[in-house]
Amino acid sequence: MIAFDLRCGEHHIFEAWFKDREAYEDQREKGLISCPVCGSTEVEKILSPVAIKKSSSTSATVPAAGAGDGAEVQEGFLKAMEKIYNTVLENSEDVGTRFASEALKIHYGAAEARSIRGVTTDEEEKMLQEEGVQFTKIPVPAKMVKKEEIN
Ligand SMILES: [Zn+2]
């Protein structure tokens, strides 16, 4: 399985899993991939988002973008990412490293349903996927990542 970060025509960003790159291309051509926010099937892979993963024991997510996609990022895209990031910050509770357990509690109704954000390890992500928990990796604008590293 391979995870791709995708973006729809309305600039919603979401993650989807595929058997391999061919499966992604195939499903995209047939319009089988739709945006979870607006349902648009006009999706494309985005180049270099970084998930919020501040725990030092975890390596940063390296997106599975194809080689040679180019490093240029359009300003509009950066702005869109920043907007998403800020919206998430404003509207969610920071649960930090408890993200996986909180997400599970919410999933099984053991905790109040609400928006949370935090960090997970690769193992926790895998576990959440297997439990069927819906969560999204948040793209962090590059300049904001730098700011966090300084702090
Ligand atoms: Zn959308």
So where are the chain's domains?
A: 69-151
The Å distance, Cα 7 to ligand 1 centre, comes to: 7
Q: Which residues contact 89 (CB under 8 A, 6 or more apart)?
A: 117
pTM: 0.42
11-55: per-residue pLDDT in tens? 898 988 888 889 999 999 999 999 999 999 999 987 543 333 333
The Å distance, Cα 109 to ligand 1 centre, comes to: 27
The Å distance, Cα 150 to ligand 1 centre, comes to: 33
Geometric angle at alpha carbon 44, from 124 and 92, rounded to 5° = 45
